[in-house]
C-alpha cells in the first residue's frame, strides 16, 4: 500500500513538471493593471479555488431585493428566511452554521459581536456590483489577517465609478414598487474629481407595509379537506433609509478609498404563526453606521503594503408591545474599531509571501456592558509553477483578550488555524483544473454565548470547523460557434465541526446554558453547470445549474435519540437553475430554486418533517433610449406558481408577488 502511494506521488510530480509550460509571464504592477484589478473579469485560471460570483446583468435581473436573494443561487449555501421584506435572513455555508460565515463589505468584515449573526436581509443589492462566495478563503494571500479566519466568506463589492473618455459624472435615479406595498426610490451619483480621483454617492429609501397573503392547508389521510385558511401577514412593515458615499483615488504607486455607510430602519417583527396568534407586537429599530478606509501602496516592485481601518457603531432597540405578553424595551449599542496592516513580498516571480496583523476592539453597552480585544496575525505563502500548479498555505494566530469582569471573567483565548489550498491544471489546452483544500477555522463565542443573563457561560471555548475539499472544474470557451461557453465543476467535501456551542438545559422552566457539546459531521457534493448558446436571430441563451447534496449528521452522543440524524433545516438535496434569454435590448430571465425535504428539529421523526419547497421566478428587462437618456424597465413575478411554503416552521412565505422598476441614467 505504502509503495503504491509513493509511486502515485512520483507519477503526479512527473506529470506536473513534464506538462507544465514554465513561463513566468509576470509583470510588475502598474496603474493600468490596478484599474483592471477592480473590474472583475472572468479569468479562467487565476484563483487557486475560484469563487462563485454573481455580478452585472445577472445580478440585476435575479429577483434582487436583498443580498440573500442572490446568494440563493450559490451551491453549498443554506438560507434561513423568516419571510417578507423585513424578515431576518441569514446564511449558512456547508452546514457549519451562520457564525462560521464571514461577510465582507468592500473588503472589511461586517461584525456582530453580540450574536455573531449578520442579517443579510438588511443589505440591499441596489449599490452592489458583485457578490462572491469563497469556500475556505479568498485565493489571494495579500489580504487582512482576519480574512483567513472564516470557514466561508461572502464578499460584497459596491459599484465602482468608471468613466468613459469625456465623461465626468453619472446620475442614476431608480424606482421600484410592487407587492407588500413596496416603494423603493434610489439615487446614485458618481463624479470624477480629477484624473486620479473620483467619488460616488448612493441613497435609497425602502418603505413597505410587508403585508402579504399566506395560506395553511391540511387534508386528512383519506383526502378530505381538514382546513384551508388564508390570512394576511401582519406587523412585517419596514421603513429604511441607506446612505453610502465614497472617495476613490490613485497614486503613482498605489490607491486609496474612503467609505461611509449609514443605515437607519424601523421594522415590525412578524413572529411565528401559531394557533390563535396571527399578529404580534414586536418592533425593532436599527441604526448601523460605519466609516472605513483602505490604502494600498507598492513600496518597491516586490513589496506591497495595505492598510484597512474601520469604525462602526450599531444601535438596536427592541420593543415588545404585545399586550398579551410582558412588555420589553431593550437597547443595545455596539462599537467596533478595526485596523489591519497587510504586506506582500515577492521572493521569486512565482513565489510570494505575506504577513498581516489585525486589531479589533468590540464593545457592547446598555443592555449588557462588556468589551473584548482581538488580535490576528497571519502568515501566508503562494507558490505557482508555470501555468499549471498553484499552492497556497496560510496560518492564522488569533488571540482574544476578554474583559476582566467581577461576576464572570471569561478566560483569554488563543487559537492557531492553518489552511492549505492547491490546484493543478494538467493540460495546456483543455481548461481542466483539479483543486483541493484543507482548512481549519473557528468561531469565537459571542457576547451572548458568554455573558447573557443566566444563560451565558464565560468558560466557553471557540468552536472549531475542519474542512477537507477536493474538486474539479472544466471550462470551454469558443468564439465563432453557436455553443459559446460551457462550464462544469464539482466539489466533494467533508467537514467536521467540534466543540459546537449548543444550548443545554439546566434545571427547570426552559432554562439553558451554553456548552461546547456538539459534534457534527458533514459530507457533501456541490455541482455547478453552465452553458451559453448563440441562437439564430442574435438570441443568446445562457443556462446555469447548481446542485448540492449534504449529509450533515449530529454525532454528539450515541445516547441521544437524534444521534446520527440530519441536523435541523439542512436539506439533503437543494439546487437552482437559471435560464436567460437575451435579444437586442430585451432580457428575459427564469429562475428556479429547490430546497428538498428536511427536518425542523434535531430528531428526524414525522412530527418534525418539513416538505420540500421550490419556487419559480420570472423577470423581463428592457433597455431603451429617449433623447440620449438611458432607461431600463423591469417587471418581475416571484413565486410564479404561488406555492405556500415555510422556510422556517411557522414563518409562512409570500404567495405570488410582483415588482416593477424603472431606472433612468443621465
Whole-number Å distance between alpha carbons of 431 and 46: 12
Binding to other proteins (CB under 8 A) within 252-271 occurs at: 271
DSSP-derived letter for residue 18 is: H
Q: Which is nearer to other proteins, 291 or 476 (CB)?
A: 476
Torsion angles phi and psi, residue 268, rounded to 5:
-90, 150
Residue 210's closest CA among 355, 116, 87?
A: 87
41 binds other proteins (CB under 8 A): no
Region from 235-243, 251-259, 480-488, 583-591 binding other proteins, contact rule CB under 8 A: 480-488
- Pick one of 594, 616, 622, 635: the residue that binds other proteins (CB under 8 A): 594
Q: Which is nearer to other proteins, 271 or 524 (CB)?
A: 271
Instruction: Fill in the per-residue mask, 547 to 586: x = in contact with other proteins (CB under 8 A), - = not in contact.
Output: x-x----------xxx----------x-x-x---------
Q: First vs last Cα of the chain: how many Å apart?
A: 69
Type and span of the H or E element at 31: helix 31-38
Q: Which is nearer to other proteins, 472 or 531 (CB)?
A: 531
Helix H, strand E, coil C: the string for 153-171 is EEEEEECCCCCCCCCCEEE
DSSP-derived letter for residue 63 is: -
Instruction: Fill in the per-residue mask, 421 to 460: x = in contact with other proteins (CB under 8 A), - = not in contact.
Output: --------------------------------xx--x---
Type and span of the H or E element at 7: helix 2-19
Residue 173's alpha-carbon distances to 170, 189, 587, 630, in angstroms, are 10, 9, 20, 11
Residue 312's closest CA among 335, 286, 294, 293?
A: 335
User: How does strand 152-158 pair with strand 101-105?
Assistant: parallel
Binding to other proteins (CB under 8 A) within 207-246 occurs at: 216-221, 223, 226-227, 229
At closest approach, how far in Å is the CB of 506 from other proteins?
A: 4
614 binds other proteins (CB under 8 A): yes
Q: Which is nearer to other proteins, 602 or 619 (CB)?
A: 602
Q: Which is nearer to other proteins, 585 or 597 (CB)?
A: 597
At closest approach, how far in Å is the CB of 498 from other proteins?
A: 17
Q: Which is nearer to other proteins, 478 or 584 (CB)?
A: 478
- Pick one of 39, 606, 627, 628: the residue that binds other proteins (CB under 8 A): 606
476 binds other proteins (CB under 8 A): yes
Instruction: Fill in the per-residue mask, 617 to 656: x = in contact with other proteins (CB under 8 A), - = not in contact.
Output: --------------------------x-x---xx------
Binding to other proteins (CB under 8 A) within 148-207 occurs at: none
- Pick one of 27, 43, 509, 628: the residue that binds other proteins (CB under 8 A): 509
| Number of residues that make up the chain | 666
Task: Indicate the SS3 state at residue 523.
Answer: strand
Instruction: Fill in the per-residue mask, 329 to 358: x = in contact with other proteins (CB under 8 A), - = not in contact.
Output: x-----------------------------
406 binds other proteins (CB under 8 A): no
At closest approach, how far in Å is the CB of 331 from other proteins?
A: 14
Q: Which residues pair with 415 in a beta bridge?
A: 398
- Pick one of 483, 583, 624, 658: the residue that binds other proteins (CB under 8 A): 483
At closest approach, how far in Å is the CB of 533 from other proteins?
A: 10
- Pick one of 166, 252, 507, 536: the residue that binds other proteins (CB under 8 A): 507
Q: Which is nearer to other proteins, 176 or 544 (CB)?
A: 544
**Reduced DSSP (H G I as helix, E B as strand, rest coil) percent helix, strand, coil of the chain, to 5:** 10, 60, 35
Check if the beta carbon of residue 96 is closer than 8 Å to that of residue 600: no
Q: Which is nearer to other proteins, 201 or 541 (CB)?
A: 541
- Pick one of 46, 511, 564, 625: the residue that binds other proteins (CB under 8 A): 511
C-beta neighbour count of 89 within 10 angstroms: 24
Q: Which is nearer to other proteins, 494 or 594 (CB)?
A: 594
480 binds other proteins (CB under 8 A): no
Residue 538's closest CA among 588, 479, 582?
A: 582
Q: Which is nearer to other proteins, 295 or 594 (CB)?
A: 594
CA triple 397-150-395, angle to 5 deg: 30
504 binds other proteins (CB under 8 A): yes
C-alpha cell at 158: 459596491
DSSP per-residue string spanning 305-316: EEEEEEEEEEEE
596 binds other proteins (CB under 8 A): yes
Q: Which is nearer to other proteins, 145 or 460 (CB)?
A: 460
Q: Which is nearer to other proteins, 265 or 608 (CB)?
A: 608
**Which residues lie below 8 Å from residue 165, measured CB to CB, with a gap of 6+?**
none
Binding to other proteins (CB under 8 A) within 514-553 occurs at: 515, 527, 529, 531, 543, 545, 547, 549
Whole-number Å distance between alpha carbons of 195 and 251: 11
Whole-number Å distance between alpha carbons of 147 and 638: 35
Whole-number Å distance between alpha carbons of 127 and 202: 7
Q: Which is nearer to other proteins, 361 or 614 (CB)?
A: 614
At closest approach, how far in Å is the CB of 79 from other proteins?
A: 17
DSSP-derived letter for residue 39 is: S
C-alpha cell at 623: 433597455
At closest approach, how far in Å is the CB of 271 from other proteins?
A: 8
Half-sphere exposure of 617 (CA within 13 A, CB side): 22
Binding to other proteins (CB under 8 A) within 303-332 occurs at: 323-327, 329
- Pick one of 15, 422, 470, 488: the residue that binds other proteins (CB under 8 A): 488
Q: Which is nearer to other proteins, 247 or 455 (CB)?
A: 455
At closest approach, how far in Å is the CB of 527 from other proteins?
A: 7
At closest approach, how far in Å is the CB of 236 from other proteins?
A: 16
Helices (H), strands (E): how many in the chain? 5, 35
Region from 176-184, 393-401, 601-609, 618-626 binding other proteins, contact rule CB under 8 A: 601-609
Binding to other proteins (CB under 8 A) within 81-110 occurs at: none
Instruction: Fill in the per-residue mask, 273 to 302: x = in contact with other proteins (CB under 8 A), - = not in contact.
Output: xxxxx-------------------------
Q: Which residues pair with 292 in a beta bridge?
A: 259, 310
Type and span of the H or E element at 332: strand 328-348
What's the distance, CA 211 to chain centroid?
27
Q: Which is nearer to other proteins, 511 or 625 (CB)?
A: 511
C-alpha cell at 391: 499552492
Burial of 437-453, coded b for 16+ CB within 10 Å and e otherwise, reads: bbbbbbbbbbbbbbbbe
What is the sign, positive or negative, of the torsion defined by CA atoms of 179, 182, 183, 188?
A: negative
409 binds other proteins (CB under 8 A): no
Residue 70's closest CA among 578, 662, 646, 651?
A: 578
Size of the site for other proteins (CB under 8 A): 73
- Pick one of 44, 611, 625, 629: the residue that binds other proteins (CB under 8 A): 611
Amino acid at each position: 500500500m505504502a509503495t503504491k502511494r509513493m509511486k502515485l506521488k512520483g507519477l503526479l510530480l512527473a506529470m506536473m513538471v513534464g506538462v507544465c509550460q514554465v513561463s513566468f509571464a509576470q509583470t510588475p504592477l502598474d496603474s493600468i493593471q490596478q484599474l483592471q484589478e477592480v473590474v472583475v473579469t472572468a479569468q479562467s485560471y487565476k484563483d487557486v479555488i475560484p469563487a462563485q460570483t454573481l455580478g452585472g446583468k445577472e445580478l440585476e435581473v435575479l429577483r434582487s431585493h436583498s443580498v440573500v436573494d442572490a446568494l440563493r443561487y450559490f451551491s453549498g449555501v443554506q438560507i434561513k428566511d423568516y419571510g417578507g421584506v423585513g424578515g431576518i435572513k441569514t446564511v449558512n455555508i456547508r452546514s457549519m452554521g451562520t457564525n462560521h460565515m464571514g461577510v465582507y463589505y468592500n473588503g472589511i468584515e461586517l461584525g456582530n459581536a453580540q450574536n455573531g449573526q449578520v442579517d443579510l436581509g438588511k443589505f440591499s443589492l441596489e449599490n452592489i456590483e458583485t457578490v462572491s462566495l469563497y469556500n475556505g478563503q479568498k485565493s489571494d494571500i495579500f489580504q487582512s489577517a482576519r480574512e483567513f479566519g472564516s470557514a466561508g466568506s461572502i464578499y460584497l463589492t459596491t459599484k465602482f465609478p468608471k468613466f468613459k473618455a469625456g465623461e465626468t459624472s453619472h446620475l442614476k435615479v431608480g424606482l421600484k414598487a410592487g407587492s407588500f406595498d413596496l416603494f423603493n426610490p434610489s439615487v446614485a451619483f458618481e463624479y470624477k474629481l480629477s484624473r486620479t480621483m473620483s467619488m460616488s454617492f448612493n441613497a435609497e429609501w425602502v418603505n413597505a407595509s410587508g403585508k402579504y397573503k399566506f395560506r395553511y392547508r391540511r387534508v386528512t389521510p383519506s383526502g378530505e379537506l381538514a382546513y384551508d385558511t388564508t390570512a394576511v401577514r401582519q406587523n412585517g412593515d419596514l421603513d429604511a433609509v441607506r446612505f453610502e458615499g465614497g472617495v476613490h483615488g490613485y497614486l503613482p504607486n498605489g490607491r486609496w478609498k474612503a467609505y461611509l455607510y449609514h443605515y437607519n430602519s424601523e421594522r415590525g417583527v412578524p413572529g411565528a404563526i401559531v394557533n390563535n396568534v396571527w399578529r404580534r407586537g414586536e418592533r425593532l429599530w436599527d441604526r448601523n453606521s460605519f466609516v472605513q478606509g483602505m490604502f494600498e501602496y507598492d513600496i518597491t516592485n516586490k513589496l506591497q503594503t495595505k492598510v484597512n481601518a474601520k469604525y462602526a457603531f450599531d444601535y438596536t432597540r427592541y420593543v415588545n408591545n404585545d399586550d398579551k405578553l410582558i412588555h420589553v424595551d431593550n437597547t443595545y449599542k455596539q462599537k467596533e474599531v478595526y485596523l489591519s496592516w497587510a504586506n506582500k513580498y515577492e521572493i521569486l516571480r512565482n513565489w510570494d509571501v505575506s504577513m498581516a496583523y489585525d486589531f479589533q476592539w468590540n464593545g457592547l453597552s446598555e443592555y449588557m456592558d462588556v468589551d473584548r480585544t482581538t488580535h490576528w496575525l497571519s502568515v501566508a505563502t503562494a507558490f505557482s509553477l508555470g501555468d499549471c500548479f498553484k499552492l497556497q498555505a496560510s496560518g492564522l494566530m488569533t488571540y482574544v483578550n476578554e474583559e476582566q469582569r467581577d461576576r464572570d471573567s471569561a478566560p483569554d483565548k488563543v487559537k492557531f488555524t492553518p489552511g492549505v489550498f492547491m490546484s493543478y491544471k494538467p493540460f495546456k489546452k483543455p481548461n481542466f483544473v483539479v483543486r483541493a483544500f484543507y482548512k481549519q477555522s473557528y468561531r469565537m463565542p459571542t457576547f451572548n454565548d458568554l455573558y447573557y443573563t443566566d444563560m451565558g457561560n464565560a468558560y466557553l471555548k471557540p468552536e472549531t470547523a475542519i474542512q477537507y475539499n477536493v474538486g474539479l472544474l472544466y471550462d470551454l470557451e469558443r468564439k465563432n460557434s453557436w455553443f459559446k461557453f460551457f462550464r462544469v465543476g464539482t466539489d466533494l467535501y467533508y467537514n467536521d465541526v467540534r466543540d459546537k456551542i449548543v444550548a443545554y438545559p439546566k434545571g427547570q422552566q426552559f432554562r439553558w446554558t451554553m456548552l461546547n457539546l456538539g459534534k457534527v459531521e458533514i459530507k457533501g457534493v456541490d455541482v455547478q453547470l453552465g452553458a451559453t448558446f448563440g441562437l439564430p436571430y442574435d438570441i443568446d441563451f445562457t443556462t446555469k445549474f447548481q446542485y448540492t447534496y449534504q449529509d450533515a449528521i449530529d454525532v454528539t452522543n450515541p445516547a441521544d435519540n437524534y444521534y446520527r440524524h440530519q441536523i435541523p433545516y439542512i436539506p439533503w438535496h437543494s439546487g437552482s437553475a437559471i435560464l436567460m434569454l437575451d435579444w437586442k435590448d430585451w432580457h428575459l430571465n427564469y429562475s428556479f430554486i429547490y430546497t428538498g425535504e428536511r427536518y425542523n428539529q434535531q430528531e428526524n421523526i414525522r412530527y418534525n418533517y418539513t416538505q420540500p419547497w421550490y419556487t419559480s421566478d420570472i423577470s423581463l428587462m428592457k433597455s431603451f433610449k429617449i433623447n440620449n437618456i438611458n432607461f431600463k424597465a423591469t417587471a418581475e413575478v416571484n413565486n410564479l406558481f404561488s406555492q405556500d411554503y415555510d422556510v422556517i416552521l411557522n414563518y409562512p412565505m409570500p404567495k405570488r408577488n410582483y415588482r416593477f422598476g424603472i431606472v433612468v441614467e443621465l
